[in-house]
Amino acid sequence: MGRVKYAIYKDSYKIMSTTFPHIQWPSNWKELILMGERCIHDTKVTIVRWQKPPDLWVKLNTDGSALSNPGKIGAGGMLRDHKGRMMLAFANPLGEGTNNQAEIEAAIFGLSWSLEIGCKNIILEVDSQL
């Protein structure tokens, strides 16, 4: 049981210290839990619904992610036709970079493959605010 607790602590510590590198993290499990319980999160919920593209069009949805900023980045996406059928899906590690770089590279990667398989009328949807 001790190994399981340690593994959970280690993973939690790694995620939180990577996400919030400016915080000095405690060195034991109890303090880490207490610190987590004191955190206040401002959460905004937005309802999102995927809509099919018009006839003769395809829709490419992409997303990029960074473990820290900068840090390890990756990209993913999905291409669907006007009936909502999946035509292409991808997930790619991109090395090191920023979250904005990951978002842009995800879009470029998806658009490149969409063109490669013969799509011409492409709607690109991303969640980046850039």
Asked whether the beta carbons of 75 and 41 are under 8 A apart, the reply is no
Angle at 82 between CA 79 and CA 88, to 5 degrees: 20
Q: Check whether 29 has a pLDDT greater than 70.
A: no
Provide the CATH number for the domain around residue 112: 3.30.420.10
Q: How many residues in total does the chain contain?
A: 130
Are β-strands 86-97 and 71-80 bridged in parallel, bridged antiparallel, or unpaired? antiparallel
Residues 74 and 34 both lie in one domain: no
Can you give the pLDDT at residue 74? 95
What is the tens place of the pLDDT at every residue in 71-130? Answer: 999 999 999 999 999 999 999 999 999 999 999 999 999 999 999 999 999 999 998 877
Residue 50 lies in a domain: no
Reported in sequence order, the residue ranges of the chain that DSSP labels E, i.e. its strands, are 58-66, 71-80, 86-97, 122-125
Note if the pTM is more than 0.75.
no
